[in-house]
A and B are shown apart, each in its own frame.
Chain A
């Protein structure tokens, strides 16, 4: 694995810094960061709200959450099971989205070598 890593010595420090400066100012890289941030912020806000809606729903709307849907399972239980669906669905979504980000990342840093 070590052979794949580019080893830059002290004398090349400026060269590396220049490279980094060039990449982080490039349009492709900025586009990648923007898209990733947008996706991550949205998806994190979504899952936090979805998750906390369960305890908050139980506190603020106890009667609604206690409504029995089938065989003693209440809306709270159904919502609890939906959390599992949410986790797995978002995980899958991320896996798919991440491949798009990988493609952008390769465009942004073409001489990047995978460790």
Chain B
């Protein structure tokens, strides 16, 4: 890869992605202009399409670039990341996905509100959705800026600005439909690009996987210890905390949860989750091969010399095995990957604001379709500006840390709320609010007192990933808040939730 002037081949591929996504957005914008279409594509996606979209929404630059680099540099521990991300889909499949689809209509707020029909519950759920989505947007934009700067030699600030403007544009003009199809196409490109590199690697080693493995100890500075753990995590609590956070976090991520409203029924929901777990699983197996390929064909020292964070592992490998053309393709795929994820995050936060806060709370459910759509578009622009400004100022922040913090907050706030709302009869409004506040507070306090903020030597809570502390506190806060409150139990509300959640029965009724 050349430093200096912008490489024309790369630029061309980026332009292809840009035009492709703009065409998708145009096509989406020609559809019916209703809130159902904007928020959920009117439930018209098939299970497989939604599976591709969920995979696209979930597999971020951290997965593709970060994990490949982590495996190449740290061996076994990098692979553990993949497994944690993947296992989290089981929790989603078993206890979260279908009830959400069966009970709610557009947002997480709908689900919680069905059980606790008070405005402050909707408000707090929406605020949590917006905070988590923006928290997740920042590392994506920062990573995008850094990677595209390295690949295309464009100024970091301009990269962040371009991605930020594009993500707002897709949502404003194309809503959930544009987001979904950008994600679907990104998944296809990502999987094909990765598969192509895997096949080239295998061909180089004459289809003998083990001859690739056997060369690793010679090429890696870790030698045979490459295959051993403890190169990334230096203490067991850190490893356990990260594992816990990954396995529980996905089920609390709003942008993943609202994807279940884009399909027509609970069977399609199951198909979606299964399809995405297969796609993501296959992808992670392929990134393993990529990681090995980087060690043997590129060399860890060469990778670190060009990019100490290891994020350029995949493009460097592409360059080695396929020259400039393949590198340009893979870089453009990374660009599409980032775009797909941030667009999904903008949709989640926008729809929550427009539907939960604007329509239900401020306008008491009386806002017209046009008013809601207009508010949604304005919200998208504002959220985009906030995310861009924060990302411009957080350029030097550790991106992986921000991602795992987001998962930690999601698992500490949304997950207890969801699980208790759906499955615990005794749960009440006080518990819901206490739980959310405790979970969020615990996550933030753990970060403020952790090694990232206070330095390794002085940290009061010596965990970079605070999940093992904040998640139980989130659950505990919800339990304690429930029991301390004098509000009598509303059994009927629980039965309604349980009935709708488990059977898919649907009534629309006005409850007080």
Q: Which residues of A contact B (CB under 8 A)?
A: 1, 5-10, 12-13, 16-17, 20-21, 23-24, 29, 32-33, 36, 40, 43-44, 47-48, 51-52, 54-56, 58-59, 65-66, 68, 71-74, 76-77, 80, 83-84, 87-88, 90-92, 94-95, 98, 101-102, 105-106, 108-109, 112-115
Q: Is the CB of A87 within 8 A of B229?
A: no
Is the Cβ of B210 less than 8 Å from the Cβ of A71? yes
A84 to B79, CA, bound (A): 12
Is residue B509 within 8 Å, beta carbon to beta carbon, of the partner chain? yes
New A-B pairs, 10, CB < 8 Å, besides A32-B502, A112-B505:
A16-B507, A20-B496, A55-B243, A68-B227, A76-B228, A80-B79, A84-B284, A88-B281, A92-B274, A108-B503
Q: Which residue of A lies closest to B105 (CB)?
A: A115
The interface of chain B, by Cβ under 8 A from chain A, is 42-43, 76, 79-80, 83, 86-87, 89-91, 93-95, 98, 210, 213-214, 216-217, 224, 226-229, 236, 239-240, 243, 247, 264-267, 270, 273-274, 277-278, 281, 284-285, 492, 495-496, 498-499, 502-511
A69 to B425: give the CA distance in the assembly, Å.
Answer: 49
Tell me, rounded to whole Å, the shortest Cβ–Cβ distance linking A42 to chain B. 11
A/B interface sample: 30 pairs, CB < 8 A:
A1-B264, A5-B507, A8-B507, A9-B510, A16-B507, A20-B496, A29-B503, A36-B502, A40-B94, A44-B91, A52-B240, A54-B80, A55-B240, A65-B229, A71-B210, A71-B214, A72-B217, A73-B227, A74-B227, A74-B228, A77-B227, A84-B285, A88-B277, A88-B278, A91-B93, A102-B266, A109-B499, A109-B505, A115-B504, A115-B506
Chain A residues near B499 (CB, 8 Å)?
20, 23-24, 29, 109
Instruction: Tell me the minimal C-beta distance from B276 to chain A in angstroms.
Output: 10
The answer to whether A44 and B502 have CB atoms under 8 Å apart is no
Contact among B87, B217, B265, B508 with A87 in the assembled complex (CB-CB below 8 Å): B87
Quick check: A90 and B90 within 8 Å, CB to CB? yes
Closest to A70 in B: B210
A59 cross-chain contacts in B, Cβ below 8 A: 236, 239-240
User: Do A6 and B508 have beta carbons less than 8 Å apart?
Assistant: yes
Closest to B282 in A: A84
Q: Which residue of B lies closest to A58 (CB)?
A: B229
Query: What separation, in Å, do the CA atoms of A24 and B227 have in the docked complex?
Result: 54
C-alpha spacing A56/B193, complex, angstroms: 35
Are B227 and A91 interface neighbours, CB within 8 A? Answer: no
Q: How far is the CA of A20 from the CA of B511 in the complex (A)?
A: 14
Contact between B508 and A8, CB atoms less than 8 A apart: yes
A47 CA to B239 CA in the complex, in Å?
Answer: 18
Measured CB to CB, the nearest residue on chain B to A92 is B274
CB pair B277 A16 closer than 8 Å: no
Q: Is the CB of A112 within 8 A of B503?
A: yes
State whether A20 touches B508 (Cβ < 8 A).
Answer: no
Q: How far is the CA of A40 from the CA of B510 in the complex (A)?
A: 32
Closest B residue to A98 using CB positions: B270
Interchain CB contact under 8 A, A16 and B502 = no
CB of B506 within 8 A of CB of A113, answer: yes
Q: Choose among B89, B247, B495, B502 the residue with the greatest number of A CB atoms under 10 Å from its CB.
A: B502
Across the interface, do B492 and A20 meet the contact criterion of CB distance under 8 Å? yes
CA of A12 to CA of B95, assembled, Å: 31
Q: How far is the CB of A104 from chain B (nearest CB, A)?
A: 9
A112, B502: Cβ atoms closer than 8 Å: no
Tell whether, in the assembled complex, residue B265 and residue A115 are in contact, meaning their CB atoms are under 8 Å apart: yes
Establish whether residues B87 and A83, one from each chain, have CB atoms under 8 Å apart when the complex forms: yes
Are the CB atoms of B94 and A44 closer together than 8 Å? yes
Q: Do A87 and B89 form a contact, CB below 8 Å, given A36-B502, A108-B503?
A: yes
**Residue pair A54, B83 in contact (C-beta under 8 Å):** yes
A76 touches B502 (CB 8 A): no
Query: Shortest beta-carbon distance, B94 to chain A, in Å?
Result: 6
**A91 and B90 form a contact (CB under 8 A):** yes
Residues of A within 8 A of B511 (CB): 13
Q: A87-B87, A115-B506 are in contact. Are A43 and B94 (CB under 8 A)?
A: yes
Closest to B95 in A: A40
Contacts of A32 in B (CB 8 A): 502-503
Contacts of B86 in A (CB 8 A): 83-84, 87
4 A-B pairs closest in CB distance:
A105-B503, A112-B505, A59-B236, A24-B495
A30 to B87 alpha-carbon distance, docked (Å): 30
B80 touches A80 (CB 8 A): yes
Tell me, rounded to whole Å, the shortest Cβ–Cβ distance linking B251 to chain A.
12
Contact A51 B229 (CB under 8 A): no
Minimum Cβ distance to chain A for residue B149 (Å): 34
User: Shortest beta-carbon distance, A69 to chain B, in Å?
Assistant: 11
B94 and A94 contact, CB distance less than 8 A: yes
Q: Which residues of A contact B277 (CB under 8 A)?
A: 87-88, 91
Q: Nearest Cβ distance between residue A79 and chain B, in whole angstroms? A: 10
Instruction: Give the CA-CA distance A77 to B511 in the complex, in Å.
Output: 53
A55 CA to B189 CA in the complex, in Å? 33
**Interchain CA distance A104-B94 in the complex, whole Å:** 17
